[in-house]
Amino acid sequence: MALPTKLTLEIVTPERSLVSQLVDEVQLPGSEGYFGVLPGHTPLLTTLQVGELWYRIGQEQHHLAVAFGFAEVLPERVTVLAQIAEKPEDIDVPRAEVARTESKSKSVEAVTVRGVNHLLVPAITGEPDEYASLTDLTVSKDVTTVVQMWLTKSFPAGKR
C-alpha cells in the first residue's frame, strides 16, 4: 500500500468546526511537547496542552491557538478535539488586553514539575493541584482569555 500524500485535518471544539482541509503538514502542542505530523505518520493519541497549532498547505502556514483536548493521528488523518481553539482573526484583542491588565494584579504561584516551568492556575481549573503549561503569561479566570492573551503575544507579525 502506498503512503498517503496529504493529511485530512479536522479541528473541532464543542461550539464549532474550525478546520476541515487536506494539508501537507501539522504541528501540535502535545502533552510531551510539540510534535510534527506528515502523511504516513504512525498512529497515536495524545492530550493537548495550551499552545500554538499550525498546519501547512503548500508553502502557506496557518496558525491557531488550542488549549486542552485530544489529538488522534492516523497515517492519512489528524483529528483535533479541543476545548478551546481560535484563529488569529477571531481574537478579540481589546478584550485580551483588558484581561492581561487585570490579571497582572492577581497572584500566580510558579512551580517546576519535571524540569518544566508551569503555573498553578486554580482560577482556571478550579483544582488547586492541577497545572497548565503556560509560559510568559499572566493568568485570568477565563481560559479563553488566557489563550487570547497568549495569541496576542506569540503569533508572528502579520499572523494576528
| DSSP SS3 for 147 | helix
Q: Is residue 2 domain-resident?
A: no
Residue 136 shares a structural domain with residue 149: yes
Residue 128 shares a structural domain with residue 149: yes
Return d(Cα 52, Cα 29) in angstroms, integer: 6
pLDDT of residue 30: 92
pLDDT of residue 115: 33
Residue 62 shares a structural domain with residue 97: no
- pTM for this predicted structure: 0.63
Which residues touch 144 (CB under 8 Å, ≥6 apart)? 84, 86
Q: If we measure between CA atoms, which residue out of 155, 135, 142, 141 comes closest to residue 88?
A: 155
pLDDT digits (tens, 9 = 90+) for 131-148: 444 433 333 334 445 555
Residue 12 shares a structural domain with residue 67: yes
Q: Is residue 132 domain-resident?
A: yes
pLDDT digits (tens, 9 = 90+) for 34-91: 999 999 999 999 999 988 999 999 999 999 989 899 999 999 999 999 998 888 888 7
pLDDT of residue 128: 42
pLDDT of residue 101: 74
Last residue of a domain, one of 70, 88, 106: 88
Burial of 50 (0-12, 13-18, 19+ CB in 10 A): buried
Could you tell me what percent of the chain has a pLDDT over 90? 45
Q: Which domain holds residue 13?
A: 7-88
